[in-house]
Amino acid sequence: GYLSGKEQERQVIEQLAETSMKAYRDLIDDPEFWDWYSGITPIEHIGKLPIASRPVSRGSSDDMTFNTLRAIPWVFAWTQVRYNAPGWYGFAEGLNKVKEDHEGALDILKRWNEEWTFFRTVLNNSQREMARTHLATSALYNNEGEPFHEKLTGQFEDAEDWVASITGYDRVLAHNKVIQNSIAFRNPFTYPLNFIQAELLERWKNADSEKEKEELTEVLFLNINGIAAAMQSTG
């Protein structure tokens, strides 16, 4: 393989993978995380959409927890609120650690991006999810100063800096203008849908009756479908 006989580079990629995974796990294993995630995303409503071949949860949809949630709705809910975090979160922290521990790490990463298809594919996949991320939209779902939003924002900005350093481009996905322009074109049309969704979720939580909740749920289903179409993704 590409890393045969390259012991330092093997150590770099192993450390990058381990540190990135640890950062991701530190986020989602935080005791406060599930309450935040289930509170700001429409995951509870996604679980009731009649579109899946399997239930959204391995348990009852009315008793959903992080440990019972399946992968596709997990990503779907992140995409709805424009974080797309499973596609990029932790990557920057891994790169920071590699740079700290290995002399010449940036040169290695640049060369990998040129020569190693696996690394370039991972980086490009992360760039695609970063390009679909829109933190100004995500902020609509959060109270001002929300710690998880601040943490995600910091990680995202670090990831943007790393992409620029490795690729030489000043914007994510600059190597693929077709997808970059497609996302940029859809953003102005998607923002109002997210604004409406944040308001609908808040009204649903504060509804005075089951009838009101049912009416809001019907509108939320339409709204979720609209954002999924705009994002061209259901997870």
The domain locations on the chain are 7-181
pLDDT tens, 112-168? 999 999 999 999 999 999 999 999 999 999 999 999 999 999 999 999 999 999 999
Averaged pLDDT for residues 79-87: 97
pLDDT at residue number 127 = 97
**Contact status, residue 40 vs residue 205, Cβ threshold 8 Å:** no
pLDDT at residue number 234 = 65
Torsion from C-alpha of 204, 137, 46, 208, nearest 10 degrees: 0
DSSP state of 143: -
Task: Identify the residue with better confidence: 222 or 58.
Answer: 222
Longest distance between any two alpha carbons in the chain, whole Å: 67
Q: What is the share, in percent, of the chain residues with pLDDT greater than 90?
A: 84
Nearest of 121, 116, 119, 126 to residue 92 by alpha carbon: 126
Q: What is the share, in percent, of the chain residues with pLDDT greater than 70?
A: 93
pLDDT at residue number 39 = 95
Taking 90 as the threshold, does the pLDDT of residue 61 lie above it? Answer: no
Strands (E), the chain: none
pLDDT band at 4 (very low <50, low <70, confident <90, very high): confident
pLDDT at residue number 56 = 58
d(CA 120, CA 176): 13
d(CA 31, CA 1): 40
